[in-house]
Structure 1
């Protein structure tokens, strides 16, 4: 039996082969940025900002 290429199959294969690794890479980049030691002071200051009284 021969497989028929449909729009749904093409879209599903495109998502699995292209977009999934792209989004995993973006997630890893964001996670690395958030956990980088150089950014700790900036994130600590941002966390204290709502509690500050002006």
Structure 2
């Protein structure tokens, strides 16, 4: 068993190197550039975050006509 330990140790290094290379190639492939740029722009957008939808009858009462959630105590006419 001790005789194949250096071989297994070298095989794992090669395996992880190949795995890392595959992941790097997958992430940096040219076809995904547009998707990554769109994801990178999310924090810079000026739009307000969407409120999570809850299930229940009180949802309609908590929203105005445009579907925005109202803060408690602040009602629009």
* Both structures adopt the same fold (TM-score exceeding 0.5): yes
Alignment of 1:45 onto 2:38: yes
- 1:15 maps to 9
Structure 2 unmatched runs, 5+: 49-77
Deviation at 1:34, TM superposition (A): 1.8
TM-score (norm 1): 0.63
Structure 1 unmatched runs, 5+: none
- 1:30 maps to 23
Higher relative contact order (CA 8 A, sep 6+): 2
TM-score (norm 2): 0.48
Which has a greater percent of helix?
Answer: 1
Q: How many residues align?
A: 45
Deviation at 1:15, TM superposition (A): 1.9
Runs of 4+ in 1 over 3 A off after TM superposition: none
